[in-house]
Amino acid sequence: MAPWLASMGYDQWILHLLLILPLLGVIPVVLGSAAAARRTALVVTLAELLLSLGLWWAVDTRPGTLQLTASIPWIPAWGISYAVGIDGISLMMVLLTTLLMPLCVLGSWNSITSRERGYYALLLTLLTGVIGVFIATDLFLFYVFWEVMLIPMYFIIGIWGGKNRLYASIKFFVFTMAGSLLMLVAILVFAWTVAGGTGTLSFAYQHLLDNAAVAGRSAPWLFGAFALAFAVKVPVFPFHTWLPDAHVEAPTAGSVLLAGVLLKMGTYGFLRFAVPFFPGVAMSAWVTNLILVLALIGIVYGALVAMVQPDIKKLVAYSSVSHLGFVMLGIWAATVQSLTGAMMVMIGHGFSTGALFFLVGMLYERRHTREISAYGGIARVVPVFSLLFTVVALSSIGLPGLNGFVGEFLVLLGSFKTHPLAAGIAATGVIFAAAYLLWALQRIIFNRLDQRENESLTDLSVRELAVLLPLVAGILWMGLYPAPVLRRIEPAMMRFVQTVRGPIGYMNVALRAPERER
């Protein structure tokens, strides 16, 4: 850790502050005037971003284990604590969240015109919930954050969403809750089973991870319940049907956060909980085959459906299904390369899809339509917008030199070693992505300027540039020089591979990790 951070005791308070600061910010937002709400929210989210940046240096990601851990008893009778910690995976997710959040506030600046106080208060609550999910190291705490963050998003979609918002919001809520309620039972059964084996009832992550082997014959059921909760969130085909509805109906910031952060909670759940707890089940042949098939269907199906969408926002929504398929493939290929790639896709997708949703939102604010056919040739009218749109779309396609390429290439490379056929099929997803995005670009930005309404479009304002440029900068940085990010992810992924590879073959000592280290 950098000495200047250490001198402030940064590692002692940062995680707690990140959780509490947005909630404290809710108070002035609710009590202040409607006009001040957005300013307050911006200040709070920017403060959160600045504070969280220190984590980049403060977290020692080299051992691949959880750092900055803290644990305070919460419900002692049940072995439940308020426990947090952070490793390379969480670090990236937390930073992605704190970066996107001020941009979301800025992006909502003029588009949210009713009940502003409620809106920004919910955004801040959501921030706490999401960060909580990524740093909780107690399963009870994790579950609470996992469920609690549903509420703000439910309201954001349901109040400030589009025409069909009521249907979309309840579908989002019920789908997610259906998965997570079974996870709730699984968490309890798992903790009680482990307690039966060890004599200690505890929901602490490390305790459960160390003794997960106790689960024995109930492991497949437990894994199934965990996996269902996370698969709905990712979403893995066929649980994806809530996603297009929610993404399309949500206001711009809602879509950005859904795609940028909330979907990642699902893949994060696989990486952190479902697979490491039950590697024997997760990596067994039939589960692997099932997940790979579903991931591939997601990749190809998502891309094909995206291609035929007349609505730009829906196109971007379905492209998420496709991209998240790559992440699932990367996780189940279970090589360090594929996992690092999966993580890069998670981050990169947050940047590029987030930016795409912002761009679509900006277009919508100007013309109040998202039909692709309503546009065409607007490059001549709004050159800056078109340039940024093109860069972002290319990054989503996976053009070398931009961030999308790094992730998808690593996933394909890593999974080719273990599952060459799957990697081959997945590679077609990249081609389809090029097809649907380039085609959309062509129809929106290029072609002929044949609609009169488009002639009076205004180009991006300073505020809109302030929203987009950080994302574009991130896209370029991670495309050209991803090493600092990769360096921070890889150790956690090596540890993951050690955990899951053990039971399936050549390193069957992995479950007894302490002995091997000796």
Partner 1 sequence: MTPLDLQTPLGATIALLPEVFLTLGAMVVLLVVAWRHRTAADSRLAGYLALWALVPSGVAVALLWGGGARPLGAPFMVALDEFRFVSLAVILVATAATILVSLGYLEREGLIAPEYYALILFAASGMMFLAGAEDLIVLFLGLEVMSVSIYVLAGYDRNSVFSAEAALKYFLVGAFASAFLLYGIALLWGGTGSTGLREIGARLSTGELPLLARLGLGLLLIGMGFKVASVPFHMWAPDVYDGSPTPVTGFMATGVKAAGFLALTRILFEAFPEATETWQPIVAALAIASMVLGNLVALSQRSLKRMLAYSSIAHAGYLLTALWAGTHLAAGATLLYLTAYVLTSLAAFGILGVLGRGGERDVTLDSIAGLARRRPWLSFALAVCMLSLLGFPGTMGFVGKWAIIAAVVQAKHLPLAVILVVTSLVSAGYYLPVVMAVYMREPVAAASHEAARLPRQAAFTVAVAVVVLLFFGLLPAGALSLALSTTSTLVRGALAPLAGIGR
Residue type, 7: S
Query: Taking a C-beta distance cutoff of 8 angstroms, is the pair 263, 352 a contact?
Result: no
290 binds partner 1 (CB under 8 A): no
Shortest Å distance, C-beta 114 to partner 1: 10
Identify which of residues 61 and 125 has a Cβ nearer to partner 1 in the complex: 125
- β-sheet bridge partners, residue 73: 81
Shortest Å distance, C-beta 343 to partner 1: 28
233 binds partner 1 (CB under 8 A): no
Shortest Å distance, C-beta 115 to partner 1: 8
In total, the chain counts a number of residues equal to 518
Residue from 189, 290, 427, 469 in contact with partner 1 (CB under 8 A): 189
Gap between the Cα atoms of 303 and 348, Å rounded: 17
Residue from 43, 151, 457, 504 in contact with partner 1 (CB under 8 A): 151
Q: Which of residues 302-361 bind partner 1 (CB under 8 A)?
A: none
Q: Which of residues 28-67 bind partner 1 (CB under 8 A)?
A: none
Token look-up 């003029």 returns 110
Query: Taking a C-beta distance cutoff of 8 angstroms, is the pair 254, 159 a contact?
Result: no
435 binds partner 1 (CB under 8 A): no
216 binds partner 1 (CB under 8 A): no
Gap between the Cα atoms of 148 and 122, Å rounded: 11
φ, ψ of residue 500 to 5 degrees: the values are: -90, -25
Shortest Å distance, C-beta 404 to partner 1: 36
- Tell me which DSSP letter residue 68 carries: E
- β-sheet bridge partners, residue 142: none
Residue 184: count of CB within 10 angstroms of its CB: 17
Q: Which of residues 2-21 bind partner 1 (CB under 8 A)?
A: none
133 binds partner 1 (CB under 8 A): no
Q: Which stretch binds partner 1 (CB under 8 A): 2-10, 162-170, 256-264, 459-467?
A: 162-170
Identify which of residues 113 and 428 has a Cβ nearer to partner 1 in the complex: 113
494 binds partner 1 (CB under 8 A): no
Residue from 6, 20, 185, 480 in contact with partner 1 (CB under 8 A): 185
202 binds partner 1 (CB under 8 A): no
- Exposed/middle/buried for 421, CB within 10 Å: 0-12, 13-18, 19+? exposed
Residue from 196, 238, 401, 420 in contact with partner 1 (CB under 8 A): 196
Residue from 46, 70, 201, 513 in contact with partner 1 (CB under 8 A): 201
Identify which of residues 188 and 213 has a Cβ nearer to partner 1 in the complex: 188
What are the angstrom distances between the C-alpha of 485 and each of 173, 477, 480?
Answer: 33, 10, 11
Residue from 24, 53, 75, 431 in contact with partner 1 (CB under 8 A): 75
Which among 202, 224, 236, 345 is positioned nearest to 277, based on CA atoms? 224
Identify which of residues 173 and 301 has a Cβ nearer to partner 1 in the complex: 173
Is 69 in a helix, a strand, or coil?
strand
181 binds partner 1 (CB under 8 A): yes
Q: Which stretch binds partner 1 (CB under 8 A): 73-81, 275-283, 396-404, 446-454?
A: 73-81
What are the angstrom distances between the C-alpha of 171 and each of 148, 153, 161, 165?
Answer: 16, 12, 13, 10
Identify which of residues 80 and 100 has a Cβ nearer to partner 1 in the complex: 80
Gap between the Cα atoms of 357 and 254, Å rounded: 9
195 binds partner 1 (CB under 8 A): yes
144 binds partner 1 (CB under 8 A): yes
Residue from 119, 143, 375, 432 in contact with partner 1 (CB under 8 A): 143
Largest Cα–Cα distance of the chain, in whole Å?
Answer: 74
Gap between the Cα atoms of 257 and 252, Å rounded: 9
Q: Which stretch binds partner 1 (CB under 8 A): 164-172, 258-266, 463-471, 490-498?
A: 164-172
Residue 417: count of CB within 10 angstroms of its CB: 13
HSE-up (13 A, CA, CB side) for residue 303 = 27
User: Element (H or E) spanning 86, and its range?
Assistant: strand 80-86
Residues near partner 1 (CB under 8 A), total: 35
Identify which of residues 79 and 479 has a Cβ nearer to partner 1 in the complex: 79
Identify which of residues 29 and 346 has a Cβ nearer to partner 1 in the complex: 29
Gap between the Cα atoms of 235 and 436, Å rounded: 20
Contact residues: partner 1, CB under 8 A? 73-78, 143-144, 147-148, 151, 155, 158-159, 165-166, 169-170, 173-174, 177-178, 181-182, 184-185, 188-189, 192-197, 201
